[in-house]
Amino acid sequence: MKTRIIVSAILLPIFFVILFLLPPVVLTLVLSVICAIAAYELLHATKIINKRVLVYTLIAAIFTPIAVYMSLAFHIVTRTSFSIMTLITLLLSIFFFLICLLLVEFLLTFKNKKAIESGKQLKLIHIPISLAAGMLIPYLLSALISLKCMPSGHLLVLLPIIAAFMTDSGAYFVGVTMGKTKAFPTISPNKTVEGCVGGAIAGILGMLIYGVILSLTTPLIIIFPALILYGIIGAIVTESGDLVFSFIKRKCGIKDFGKIMPGHGGAMDRFDSMTFTAPAMYLLVILVPAVIY
CA distance readout (Å), 131 to 60, 92, 128, 135, 212: 9, 12, 5, 6, 41
Q: Where are the alpha helices (DSSP H) in the chain?
A: 2-20, 24-45, 51-78, 83-108, 113-118, 126-131, 137-141, 143-148, 153-156, 158-178, 193-217, 224-252, 267-271, 274-287
Domain range holding 217? 152-293
pLDDT tens, position by position, 210-268? 999 999 999 999 999 999 999 999 999 999 988 888 888 888 888 888 777 765 678 88
pLDDT band at 163 (very low <50, low <70, confident <90, very high): very high
Residue 50 pLDDT level (bands cut at 50, 70, 90):
confident
Q: Are residues 197 and 247 in the same domain?
A: yes
* Contact status, residue 168 vs residue 285, Cβ threshold 8 Å: no
Asked, for residue 9, whether it belongs to a domain, the answer is no
Choose the weakest-confidence range: 81-95, 97-111, 114-128: 114-128
CB 152 within 8 A of CB 288: no
CB atoms within 10 A of CB 44: 18
Q: Is the residue at 10 inside a domain?
A: no
Name residue 178's amino acid: M
User: Which of 127, 149, 171 delimits the end of a domain?
Assistant: 149
- Cα–chain-centroid distance for residue 152? 21
Convert the pLDDT of each residue in 98-117 to its tens digit.
999 988 888 877 666 565 54
| Integer Cα distance of 73 and 186 in angstroms | 45
**156 and 144 share a domain?**
no
What average pLDDT does range 174-197 have in this prediction? Answer: 82
Same domain, 261 and 128: no
Domain membership of residue 77 (yes or no) is yes
Tell me: do 183 and 280 sit in the same domain.
yes
pLDDT digits (tens, 9 = 90+) for 11-21: 778 888 888 88
Classify the C-alpha dihedral 62-241-230-191 as positive or negative: negative
pLDDT attached to residue 192: 85
Of the residues 110, 129, 149, the one at which a domain ends = 149
Residues counted in the chain = 293
Residues 156 and 292 in one domain: yes
18 located within any domain: no
SS3 for 184?
Answer: strand
For the chain, the domain total comes to 2
Residue 239: name the closest of 157, 284, 182, 172 by CA: 172
CA distance 283 to 289: 9
Using DSSP's 3-state secondary structure scheme, residue 111 falls into helix
User: Is 12 contained in some domain?
Assistant: no
pLDDT of residue 147: 95
pLDDT at 79: 61
Q: Distance between CA atoms of 38 and 275, rounded to whole angstroms?
A: 11
Predicted pLDDT at 4: 60
The pLDDT of residue 157 is: 95
pLDDT at 5: 64
Using only the alpha carbons of the chain, give its radius of gyration: 20
Residue 119, sorted as left (phi over 0), alpha (psi -120 to 50) or beta, turns out to be left
Does 59 have pLDDT greater than 60? Answer: yes
256 compared with 40, residue with greater pLDDT? 40
Q: Are residues 97 and 186 in the same domain?
A: no
Kind of pairing, strands 182-184 and 188-192?
antiparallel
Task: Please give the helix or strand (H or E) that residue 1 lies within, else none.
Answer: none
Residue at a domain's end among 119, 149, 179:
149
Q: Is 2's pLDDT higher than 60?
A: no
